[in-house]
Amino acid sequence: MKRALITGVRRIGYHISRSLLESGWRVGVVYKGFREPVEKLREEFGNRVVGLAADLSLWEEGKRVVEEVVSLLGGVDAFLHLSSPYEATPLELLREEQVDLHFKPIAQAFLAIGKEVYPYMLQNSGSVKGRFVAFGDWATNTTPYRNYSAYFIAKGALHTAVKVLAKELAPHVLVNAIALGPTLKPPDIPENKWQEYINKTPLKRPVSIQDVVKLTHYLLEVESMTGEIITLDSGRHVAGECT
């Protein structure tokens, strides 16, 4: 039975966790404070789900969550990193705390967990012994939009970390990312604004959760791809400028 460590299970991470559980995986899911998705998964899948509360802004929490997941699940085959604040930080009001608030759980935690989980993955059998999948953002390396500097700089570092770790952890651990476009409306964005974002995609529809789940499964099976950042965004990146 395969085992995954998944950070950030509030929404998209919940659907991915559920799908992996339906496919027979065991999952260790990391949340910061909102436990409801973990309870829902446990109701449906029982002790194949382990929930861990952790503030991934703290470097040392990376080691703790890896050790707990390995001890409870008996090892780990995949690390999926979705944890991510998404707060507007207009430049004139930007403070160090807001940079840390985004950078640490998004980029630093990927390294902190990644370096701890890698030696455990090396204990797995086969040529491919483990896989990482990070969740980035379509706009990061193309056209970042205004007022989200702390978020985009953190996601940019995450995209770089995918390439860095792909090289460091080869040949036995594969490291890839999905750079998502508009998928689920952030709670603090009004419906009409969200619709505007969707209308800017050539496909005029949000990214479907089913596609996110299918692409994640693909990246958990692929044997010949590493260091790749796949854009899944209803074509948003070819549509041109953001505001």
Ligand X SMILES: NC(=O)c1ccc[n+]([C@@H]2O[C@H](COP(=O)([O-])OP(=O)(O)OC[C@H]3O[C@@H](n4cnc5c(N)ncnc54)[C@H](OP(=O)(O)O)[C@@H]3O)[C@@H](O)[C@H]2O)c1
Among 20, 76, 154, 180, which residue sits at the site for ligand X (rule: CB under 6 A)? 180
d(CA 180, CA 138): 5
Q: Closer to ligand X at the Cβ: 105 or 130?
A: 105
Among 8, 28, 114, 130, which residue sits at the site for ligand X (rule: CB under 6 A)? 8
Report angle CA 135, 11, 212 to the nearest 5 degrees.
50
Q: Does 57 bind ligand X (CB under 6 A)?
A: yes
Amino acid at 48: R
8 A C-beta contact, residue 231 and residue 181: yes
Name 173's bridge partners. 130
- Residues in 36-55 at the binding interface with ligand X, rule: CB under 6 A: 54-55
Size of the site for ligand X (CB under 6 A): 26
- Residues in 90-129 at the binding interface with ligand X, rule: CB under 6 A: 105
Sole window of 11-19, 113-121, 167-175, 217-225 interacting with ligand X (rule: CB under 6 A): 11-19
Q: Does 33 bind ligand X (CB under 6 A)?
A: yes
Among 164, 184, 230, 239, which residue sits at the site for ligand X (rule: CB under 6 A)? 184
Q: Which helix (H) or strand (E) segment is 27 a member of? A: strand 26-31
Sole window of 7-15, 114-122, 166-174, 220-228 interacting with ligand X (rule: CB under 6 A): 7-15
Sole window of 9-17, 71-79, 92-100, 188-196 interacting with ligand X (rule: CB under 6 A): 9-17
Q: Where are the alpha helices (DSSP H) in 32-108?
A: 36-45, 59-73, 96-103
How far CA 92 is from CA of 65, 100, 187, 235, in Å, comes to 36, 17, 24, 32
Q: Closer to ligand X at the Cβ: 161 or 180?
A: 180
Q: Closer to ligand X at the Cβ: 172 or 239?
A: 239
Name 148's bridge partners. 89
Query: How many alpha carbons lie under 13 Å from residue 160 in its C-beta half-sphere?
Result: 9
